[in-house]
Structure 1
Amino acid sequence: MATDQRKIVVVGAGSGIGAATAAHFHEQGDHVLAVDLHPDRAEASAHAQCDLRDATQINKLLGSIGGDWDLLAYVAGVPGTAPAADVLKVNYLGMRLFVEGMLPLLRQGGSVVTVASVAALGWQERQNDLAGLLEATDGDTVERWQAEQDPNYPVYSTSKQAAIIYSKRLAPSAWQKYGVRVNTVSPGPTETPILGDFEESMGKDVLDGVKALIGRHATVADVVPVIAFLGSPDAGWVNGQDIHVDGGFVAPLTVGAPIQL
């Protein structure tokens, strides 16, 4: 094995941003473990199946892969068209359990990058609302928490808000104890196989409005380099951050109308 070869775990490598992330690292010569619910054809050194709704499967997988990993890229996610419990278990709880299990397996100087979403906009104002979810460490508790929530609030947004808040809270401790950085990447609408699901759950007119504002949706080629940067030594002092990869459409939502040129 080449001394400069890195070891990368990509969770959610079956399609979309996850498959592109696995291919990126594989093509540059890294050892890539591609993890997905179903058998996948991701470009990778090894493949593993895992149902991220099942803590037992997560623990079993992590107990079998050994240590000395450089990067965990948690890209797995299900859209709001899926059952609410699945959205929360995969996008938030499964991520949390996978990350916490990986921390001892990552080398000092390693990194965790979770793909969140600009759909998490407003997470700062929902920290108290999400306190019960952020305390949950098992699927039953997550389901009981969701059963008490407003069914009209998008559960996908909730799941990504929780992922961002959790990652920010974890980042200082992960750095102090393990020397591992924890960051999130929040893409805007992206041309992947589940874009249609987002159009159904969020409204096609909403996503078309985003596209009209900035000219196009993102592609995986826009997102993967940001994941790669955050997972690299070049980002060695970037920790606890959420990086928007959205072409700039969120910016005027938070600071006022775009300046006309």
Structure 2
Amino acid sequence: MHNPHRFAGKVAIVTGAARGIGAATAQRFAEEGAGVLLVDIIPEVMETAAAIGGTGFVVDITARDAGLRIEEAAQAAFGRIDILVNNAGIGGSKSLKDTDDTLMDRIIDTNLNAMLRVTRAIAPHLPRPGGRIINVSSIFGLIGYPGTTAYAVAKAGVAQFTRQLAVELTPEGILVNAVAPGVVETPMTAERLRDPYYIKLQVKPTPIGRVGTPSEQAAVIAFLASEDAAFVSGVVIPVDGGYTATRYTPNDE
């Protein structure tokens, strides 16, 4: 059940918000009363923002000045920033032997380095106390999985960044947490979800027996941004249907 007043008067920035988890998260914040700046490199973010009554902002998250530009856009639109959701990321990773320097740099810069730079620019503008930072890691940052080396390393970095930032900012009143999504049905996973081997490795061993939805990730992100999570900081929550907590083999016979 959504609370239309839970984030009344608050402003949230959501990166990677044109589609998938980011779009669902932005919608959840808007439905619960927040002003939302939706950030993405894809121009479609303007349509996504218009549909939920938010403000869209097109920027390449890896640009060195992206954080400053995002902060200025949020201040211009809303006059304040309370919540930062670092969701922007890309897939396309391969095993290390098949990963050239160009791919390695692109994946790690987009999924990790850009997050550090954007957070560094936004964090000084969050309220103390009351600010919230929620990062999107991945179960691939928590466990080993074949063929995802650079992506997995970047997402493991996101998890450690979350813990490190909690040490630095929680004493000032800013809570920092992360979610680690399991398999979620998004445009980024659409091709893999057509691969029987991926289904065998990822979906079937999930005790809940299905892939997740973006709105299920958004619900946990919204919890971490709310006052209900006032005593939670420095944690990475797997939102994965039980995948990382179990060793489950379905009986297909």
Q: State whether TM-score is above 0.5.
A: yes
What residue identity is the alignment partner of 1:98? Answer: V
* Alignment-derived partner of residue 159 in structure 1: 154
User: Bigger CA drift: 204-213 or 220-229?
Assistant: 204-213
What residue identity is the alignment partner of 2:74? Answer: I
1:175 aligned to 2:170? yes
SS at structure 2 position matched to 1:216: coil
In the alignment, is the contact (CA less than 8 A) between 2:83 and 2:133 conserved in 1? yes
For residues 54 and 142 of structure 2, what CA distance do their matches in structure 1 show? 36
* Alignment-derived partner of residue 133 in structure 2: 112
Shift of 1:102: 1.1
In the alignment, is the contact (CA less than 8 A) between 2:185 and 2:212 conserved in 1? yes
What residue identity is the alignment partner of 1:47? Answer: G
TM-score if structure 2 supplies the norm length? 0.80
* Alignment-derived partner of residue 180 in structure 2: 186
In the alignment, is the contact (CA less than 8 A) between 2:67 and 2:119 conserved in 1? no
Moved >6 Å (runs of 4+): none
Root-mean-square deviation (Å): 2.5
For residues 92 and 27 of structure 1, what CA distance do their matches in structure 2 show? 29
> Identity rate of aligned residues, in percent?
29
SS at structure 2 position matched to 1:210: helix
Once the two structures are superposed, residues 169-222 of structure 1 have per-residue CA deviations (whole angstroms, 9 ceiling, x without a partner) of: 110211123x1111110010100011135559xx75134333223311111122
Please point out which of 16, 19, 23 is paired with 2:23.
19
Once the two structures are superposed, residues 98-130 of structure 1 have per-residue CA deviations (whole angstroms, 9 ceiling, x without a partner) of: 11211111112111001110001249xxxxxxx
In structure 2, the gaps of 5 or more residues are 95-102
What residue identity is the alignment partner of 1:54? Answer: A
Q: 1:248 to 1:233 in 2, by over 3 A?
A: same
Once the two structures are superposed, residues 124-173 of structure 1 have per-residue CA deviations (whole angstroms, 9 ceiling, x without a partner) of: xxxxxxxxxxxxxxxxxxxxxxxxxxxx7611101100111111011021
Please point out which of 209, 220, 226 is paired with 2:220.
226
In the alignment, is the contact (CA less than 8 A) between 2:68 and 2:122 conserved in 1? no
Please point out which of 10, 13, 19 is paired with 1:6.
10
In the alignment, is the contact (CA less than 8 A) between 2:192 and 2:198 conserved in 1? no
For residues 207 and 231 of structure 1, what CA distance do their matches in structure 2 show? 32
For residues 189 and 117 of structure 2, what CA distance do their matches in structure 1 show? 26
Map of 1:202-221 to 2, 5 A cutoff?
204-213=196-205, 214=207, 215-221=209-215
What residue identity is the alignment partner of 1:168? Answer: R
* Alignment-derived partner of residue 237 in structure 1: 231
Aligned residue pairs total 225
* Alignment-derived partner of residue 100 in structure 2: none
Please point out which of 58, 68, 71 is paired with 2:83.
71
TM-score if structure 1 supplies the norm length? 0.78
SS at structure 2 position matched to 1:55: coil
